[in-house]
Amino acid sequence: MEKDEKVKLSKVLLICAKGSIEDVYATLVMGNGAVMEGIETKLFFTFFGLDAITKKQMNKLHTATVGNPAMRMPGGLPFPTLLGALPFVEAGVSAMMKSQMEKLDIPGVEEFLELIVAGGGEIYGCKLAADMFGLKKEDLYDDVKGIITVGDLYAMCDGPGTQIIFT
């Protein structure tokens, strides 16, 4: 391959390590987009990102209201971090975000996972994180292909045209 020759993206691995709505949906939207473009797609959920594929948590994701400098109030004013610490504020902001997503007809977490798998994408959980949180494969979304190590994950990423994206 010559120096200036571009390698076409053929395989993408998305790593989700956070369990907030905005982080999980970044992974799901990009994963679904890759599948739709015919790119071999693998999603790897680790640490709190495991909430997105844990049956008991996947439909209970929240928006991070504390320490989120990009958070805005209606009208575009910055959202005061201290406000996010008040009782029920996080739940209210999360409900508002979910409502906006419904208005845009954005699929729920489970439906997004179904679309990705139906398109040929693969979903994996992190063995280290699953062990830390006491999770077994039966605790996870039914179409999770496996709970694997980071070494297993990297072994899947051989060859030119592979891109690893940490969301």
Model confidence at 67, in pLDDT bands (50, 70, 90)? low
What CATH number is associated with residue 30?
3.40.1260.10
Question: Hey, CA dihedral for 58, 25, 147, 117, is it positive or negative?
Answer: positive
Cα 122-124-125 angle, rounded to 5 deg = 165
- Same-domain check for residues 115 and 160: yes
Domain presence at residue 3 = no
Which of the two residues, 78 and 166, has the higher pLDDT score?
166
- For tokens 């797609």, what's the residue? 41
115's tokens: 């679309």
Q: Which domain holds residue 87?
A: 66-107
Q: What is the pTM of this model?
A: 0.85
- Say if residue 145 is in the same domain as residue 72: no
Give domain status of residue 1, yes or no: no
| Per-residue pLDDT tens digits for 125-164 | 999 999 999 999 999 999 999 999 999 998 888 777 788 8
| Same domain assignment for residues 113 and 161 | yes
Q: Is 107 exposed, middle or buried (0-12, 13-18, 19+ CB in 10 A)?
A: middle
Closest listed residue to residue 71, CA positions, set 22, 106, 18: 22
- 123 in the same domain as 45: yes
